[in-house]
Amino acid sequence: MSNSSIYGPNAWLIDEQFQQYSKDPNSVDKEWKEFFEKNGAPKQQGESAAAAPKAAAPKAAAPKSDAKATEGKPTATKQAARKTEVDSSVEQAKKAQKAPAPVAAAPKKGPQSPLDRIEPYPEFSEKPLKGMFKAIAKNMDQSLEIPTATTVRDMPVKLMWENRSMINDHLKRTRGGKISFTHILGWAIVKAVQIHPDMNIRYEVQDGKPTAVQPEHINLGLAIDLPQKDGSRALVVAAIKECENKSFNEFIDAYEDIVARSRKNKLTMDDFSGVSINLTNPGGIGTRHSIARLTKGSGSIIGVGSMDYPAEFAGASADRMADLGVGRLVTLTSTYDHRVIQGAESGEFLRTISQLIIDNKFWDELFTALGVPYQPFRWAQDVPNKGIDKNTRVMSLIEAYRSRGHLLADVNPIGWTQPGLPIPDHRDLDMETHGLTIWDLDRTFNVGGFGDKESMQLREVLSRLRSAYTLKVGTEYQHILDRDEREWLRDRLEAGMPKPTNAEQKYILQKVNAAEAFENFLQTKYVGQKRFSLEGAEALIPLMDSVIDTAAGQGLDEVVIGMPHRGRLNVLFNIVGKPLAQLFAEFDGNFKGGQAGGSGDVKYHLGAEGEHLQMFGDGEIKVTLTANPSHLEAVDPVLVGMARAKQDILDKGEEGYSVVPLMLHGDASFAGLGIIQETINISQLRGYTAGGTVHVVVNNQIGFTTTPDSSRSTYYSTDLAKGFDCPVFHVNGDDPEAVVWVGQLAAEYRRRFGKDVFIDLICYRLRGHNEADDPSMTQPVLYDKINDHRGVRESYTDDLIGRGDLSSEDAEAAARDFHDQMESVFAEVKEAEKMGPQEQEGITSSQALTRGLDTSITADELRALGQSYLDTPEGFEFHKRVGKVAQDRAKTSIEGGIDWGWGELIAFGSLANEGKLVRLAGEDSRRGTFTQRHAIAFDPNSGEEFNPLNNLAAERGNGGKFLPYNSALTEYAGMGFEYGYSLGNQDAVVVWEAQFGDFANGAQTIIDEYVSSGEAKWGQTSSLILLLPHGYEGQGPDHSSARIERFLQLCAEGSMTVAQPTTPANHFHLMRRQALGEMKRPLVVFSPKSMLRNKAAYSSIEEFTDVTSFASVINDPNLVDRDGNVIGDADKVKTIMLCSGKIYYDLEKKRAADGRDDIAIVRVEMLHPIPFNRLREAFEKFPNATQVRFVQDEPANQGSWPFYNEHLRNLIPDMPEMVRVSRRAQSSTATGISKVHQLEQKNLLDEAFDI
């Protein structure tokens, strides 16, 4: 066997290993031992064994070192990253360079002269070559048998230098490591060999015949120095095998594997065999080029010279060379076996390498392989500074990055581009678009204060711009109208993200660990249970922690969180601090949420409260997570209402918004649901602002199964936010440090400017919509990428270890400790879960009924309320129409004849005087849709506002307020906000008024999910009042009915009060009972329209001062007084008409006109809870009555009839027969034709009295 033909320059190593084997077969690696046992000694074994030198003591001056690149060590200023070096002394030298300088400055020395290195010339000597040196000499002699030729080519490396720098900057910021020039040139050689396979041919003589052998693979040999025991170094060439089948990443891994194993002397004989083409690097010590020796077994060897400026410019300054456009060159030599490779092929081969290292596609592939999210620099000719000055072009480039740099930001952790979504054109971010090239990078331009400098090299400009706008955070803020806001954001972004301390990094990792471990634990312990996991978006936990922690550091009072179901359990535990034992118990079906006896709700809808203590500060803050239904985003206005209520209780003034709403969204829901727009729209309105909400869009890049191209028409899911003048931070969910920084930045912006701020947390959803779903059925390609993607904990841990910020032992300990804690609690819960669930009993008796409450006011109080309308500020003038209203109110508060609008204000004003905060909000509620309220008066000359009832309350000094607000044109968000306000301030009187009751169905989700069932599901108590104008006056199907039937259908167990009062005074008492009573349940009032000015519906003074309570039933006042005394001939009554609302006055008018004394008209003022005891008492006053006629304006299938028809007979079994009188059943609520309405009304009344 010929060692040289197989192992080439490594033949000496075979000899050395055999010598060692001969002395002790067990002293060599197993592979070497098996090789010698199988093949016997090499041909030179005897000779080599005889010449084996005895182990010599190393020279004292010889440094201890490991393997490094051939032909010397590179200088620090040139190709440090090109070398294949594993010399521990170099590593020690690097550490020494990083060591802090001594306090005392060393004396300055001039530049060292080469002459200083001259030592005494050695004496004459002769030393026979032995061992490996003899083998090397023999190989060199044999190489003389190969007829070689060499091709030389200079290549520009400006582009490679710049792109490598960009790559390494990215790696440094992320996972660590770096790419060397040798990596890049080696890869270019591999690609060039694929284009020119003849360069991989070797020469052999087979059966006496010259033969050109084409190897089946490209095996690239790397020359490595190995340290010897005597301190000398020996050359070996190790091969990267099958390069043509590797990706660039695999090529790098194989390269680094050889280097790492050479460091540990773990290279095997397989590594030394089969080299087909060699790479050597004499450029490390500045050698321009050298003619390498080609040994047997290979067809060519490529030499890489130094990378430097042409020698002619050695004396030129850097600025001068930049101005001239002089770039570095590298000289490549191709030494080849001229027997099988020709000069032309070698020349073309080098030209191809030269083309590759400036080729766009070549660099695009490298950047893609390494996950560098930016476009590489492009090769271009230098452009002269003509036309628009280049200083102006640089400024234009800076502004382009500020406006649109987010389009280049590395914010997508899985690198997914959704087919069908618009792809933005961001060519304005390419410097080429601005007439700039790589030759301008080292030139200095005016930058107008950018980076706190007036001038800067373009290289630094681009580096700062990328750092500010295109790393893991992409920011949209240039659309903001206010200059101060833009500059505040710009300054912080361009200052760059500060590197967290090691303690902060460990804390961030702990949060990520906690998020992932929690999900993994539940997945293992509760297989198949729905939990809507956070997997893929675990960075949400450190993000929320960052926002809350910043708020705590600002000295704020509370963070109120609203969020959907995905990730909620994780947030409950890791953010709010809900006990693990309680969470695990809920997984086992043992719930404690909800009102006593209530229905409860699924575990991922429940709320909780907790406390947050700063890890790196002394601050602490309350944290509240509000309950939510499955209806995505319905919680949004509720959350903001809660925050505003809590803020109003603290009452710290306009600048003291110390309660932070933290609102979480999904990407599909944020783009798709209109309640988002409604909620953001009210964020800056004076009656609604909470000082800014921090919004976090957990961007899974998918809905349930719907992809973004089918769910939105915008590029970003958050594009809506820009329409409200708010900044948007797009952040990569795989970079917890960036996520934490953005959380801090968002909280600081909110605090400073009092506006909403949006964080687009771009991540992914590991599993389907729930844990049992398989998303690969509908998104197979996307989920192939997701399944191959490392989790955020793993990637962040690897990044920390790769950058040297954390040891693997610390990382493992953090994950293990958290899992052990959960395992312990889980065992305790399993031990304690022997108690089964209790049967639900309902919420009927969960709150005490309000009994014996006096809701009257004194005559003096009533007079004072009227007088407040005349006590105007100095110089204030009423509008001429409103002035008459003010006079009438002062007059009627003494004489009586109080109309509906005034009676309602008397209720609100008296409550404010008693110290209550009364909040009235709705569309046009300050004046009133029907010009009936005039809660606020306006001076027609100055526009000045006058709130007489609030002024009076302020004078009383009880802390009460009357605050009427006009809302935005919204029902959904408007009602949701007020419901949330009623939760946040349980003592406030919170009233939401619909413009017309018909429009309340725009808030049906709030009615269904919160108002009617919040107490039963979550134990949330609310005393919200809904005023819903209702009445059939011929105004059409959308201005007649507030849908009484729907509210009654939602009622059970006394869950809310539904009323339709018929007098201003009874309405007054109802309002005050709701505000002053102990029970906290919603009140729905079907308020009047035509009755507002019906003088028959006015109330006397005595009804406010002498009557002490709300009457749920009003008997016929012609026959029975308020105290229940019969005052007429009740025995004549044969028919009882049962009604509510406006129809009463129509019936009474006709009865009086017809002179019917056989009919009694009884009003049901409270529809639910059904006042059956009061109704029984009313019926009993008419012993001869044989029929109850239930008369209503509404069609037969609507109104209160269906509800009463089902329940009343069961509650009053012995009541007279009950029949219905109404309009016919119909799908619409009312006719829109006035004459048809008049006919229907006439027929209704005629039927009612047709007895």
Tell me, rounded to whole angstroms, the distance of Cα 1088 from its chain centroid. 46
Helices (H), 788-937: 792-802, 808-832, 859-867, 880-895, 900-913
pLDDT tens digits for 924-975? 999 999 999 999 999 999 999 999 999 999 999 999 999 999 999 999 999 9
Q: Which of 457, 463, 328 is nearest to 390 (CA)?
A: 457
Reply yes or no on whether the pLDDT at 832 is more than 60: no
**Taking all residues of the chain, what is their mean pLDDT, rounded to a whole number?**
86
108 located within any domain: no
The span from the CA of 592 to the CA of 588, in Å, is 12
Same domain, 678 and 592: yes
Helices (H), 658-718: 667-672, 674-681
Of 1086, 1105, 1124, the last residue of a domain is: 1105
Bridge pairing between strands 473-476 and 728-732: antiparallel
| Band (1239; pLDDT cuts 50, 70, 90) | very high
Residue 390 contacts residue 435 (beta carbons within 8 Å): yes
Q: Which amino acid is located at 263 in the chain?
A: R
Reply yes or no on whether the pLDDT at 282 is more than 90: no
Of 1105, 1139, 1155, the last residue of a domain is: 1105
Q: Which of 220, 222, 303, 302 is nearest to 262 (CA)?
A: 222
| Band (226; pLDDT cuts 50, 70, 90) | low
- pLDDT score of 1197: 97
Q: What is the mean pLDDT of residues 72-80?
A: 35
Same domain, 1094 and 1121: no
Highest mean pLDDT among 440-444, 463-467, 623-627, 1057-1061: 1057-1061
pLDDT tens digits for 354-393? 999 999 999 999 999 998 878 899 999 888 888 889 999 9
Residue 472 contacts residue 411 (beta carbons within 8 Å): yes
Question: For residue 433, how many other CB atoms are within 10 A of its CB?
Answer: 14
Q: b vs e for 588-598, b when ≥16 Cβ sit within 10 Å of the residue's Cβ?
A: eebbebbbebb
Spatial neighbors of 828 by CB under 8 A, at least 6 apart, are 581
Same domain, 1093 and 1131: no
| Band (1143; pLDDT cuts 50, 70, 90) | very high
Same domain, 1097 and 1119: no
Please list the active-site residues: 338
Helices (H), 311-470: 318-324, 343-356, 360-369, 390-404, 458-469
Reply yes or no on whether the pLDDT at 96 is more than 60: no
H/E segment holding residue 269: helix 269-272
The domain that contains 1135 carries what CATH number?
A: 3.40.50.11610
Same domain, 1027 and 1126: no
| Band (142; pLDDT cuts 50, 70, 90) | confident
Of 1070, 1105, 1140, the last residue of a domain is: 1105
Residue 241 contacts residue 218 (beta carbons within 8 Å): no
The domain that contains 452 carries what CATH number?
A: 1.10.287.1150
Q: Which of 412, 624, 605 is nearest to 1016 (CA)?
A: 605
- pLDDT score of 867: 97
Residue 587 contacts residue 529 (beta carbons within 8 Å): yes
CA-based angle 829:831:836, to the nearest 5? 80
pTM (predicted TM-score): 0.83
Reply yes or no on whether the pLDDT at 78 is more than 70: no
Query: pLDDT exceeding 70 applies to what percent of the chain?
Result: 85
| Band (841; pLDDT cuts 50, 70, 90) | low
Same domain, 682 and 543: yes
| Band (71; pLDDT cuts 50, 70, 90) | very low
The span from the CA of 165 to the CA of 782, in Å, is 32
Tokens at residue 667, please? Answer: 């990407």
Structural Rg of the chain based on CA atoms: 43
For the chain, how are helix, strand and coil distributed in percent, rounded to 5? 45, 15, 40
Same domain, 821 and 914: no
- pLDDT score of 500: 93
Q: What is the mean pLDDT of residues 669-695?
A: 95
Side-chain half-sphere exposure of 55, counting CA atoms within 13 A: 4
1209 by DSSP, 3-state: which?
A: helix
- pLDDT score of 345: 94
1103 by DSSP, 3-state: which?
A: helix
980 located within any domain: yes
1038 located within any domain: yes
Bridge partners, residue 303, by sequence = 280, 333
Same domain, 610 and 466: no
Q: How far from 1214 is each of 1186, 1209, 1210, 1211, 1217, CA to CA, in Å?
A: 11, 8, 9, 9, 9
- pLDDT score of 1019: 87
Q: Which of 1086, 1071, 1073 is nearest to 1139 (CA)?
A: 1086
The domain that contains 920 carries what CATH number?
A: 3.40.50.12470
120 located within any domain: no
Which of 73-82, 98-107, 149-158, 1187-1196 has the weakest average pLDDT? 73-82
841 located within any domain: no
1092 located within any domain: yes
| Band (100; pLDDT cuts 50, 70, 90) | very low
Same domain, 456 and 558: no
Same domain, 1093 and 1126: no
Complete DSSP assignment for 300-313: EEEEEEEEE--GGG
Residue 916 contacts residue 958 (beta carbons within 8 Å): no
- Angle subtended by helix axes 1172-1180 and 1201-1211, to nearest 10: 70
Bridge partners, residue 1190, by sequence = 1138, 1220
1202 located within any domain: yes
The span from the CA of 157 to the CA of 677, in Å, is 53
| Band (98; pLDDT cuts 50, 70, 90) | very low
Q: b vs e for 946-984, b when ≥16 Cβ sit within 10 Å of the residue's Cβ?
A: bbbbbebbbeeeeebbbbbbbbbebbbbbbbbbbbbbbb
| Band (1043; pLDDT cuts 50, 70, 90) | very high
DSSP 8-state assignment for residue 998: G
pLDDT tens digits for 969-1000? 999 999 999 999 999 999 999 999 999 999 99
Same domain, 364 and 397: no
The span from the CA of 761 to the CA of 1151, in Å, is 68
pLDDT tens digits for 1207-1232? 999 999 999 999 999 999 999 999 99
Looking at the 3D structure of the chain, how many domains does it have?
5
Higher-pLDDT residue of 858 and 19 is 858
Q: What is the mean pLDDT of residues 208-236?
A: 80
Bridge pairing between strands 220-227 and 209-213: unpaired
Q: Which of 881, 933, 871, 860 is nearest to 902 (CA)?
A: 933
Tokens at residue 918, please? Answer: 């009364």
Same domain, 955 and 1090: yes
365 located within any domain: yes
Q: Give the domain extent around 1162.
A: 1113-1249
The domain that contains 809 carries what CATH number?
A: 3.40.50.970
pLDDT tens digits for 870-913? 999 999 999 999 999 999 999 999 999 999 999 999 999 999 99
The span from the CA of 700 to the CA of 734, in Å, is 12
Higher-pLDDT residue of 444 and 523 is 444
SS (H, E, C) 9-66: HHHHHHHHHHHHHHHCHHHCCHHHHHHHHHHCCCCCHHHHHHCCCCCCCCCCCCCCCC
Q: What is the mean pLDDT of residues 261-268?
A: 81
Q: Which of 911, 933, 1067, 981 is nearest to 648 (CA)?
A: 981
Phi and psi torsions of 344, nearest 5°: -60, -40
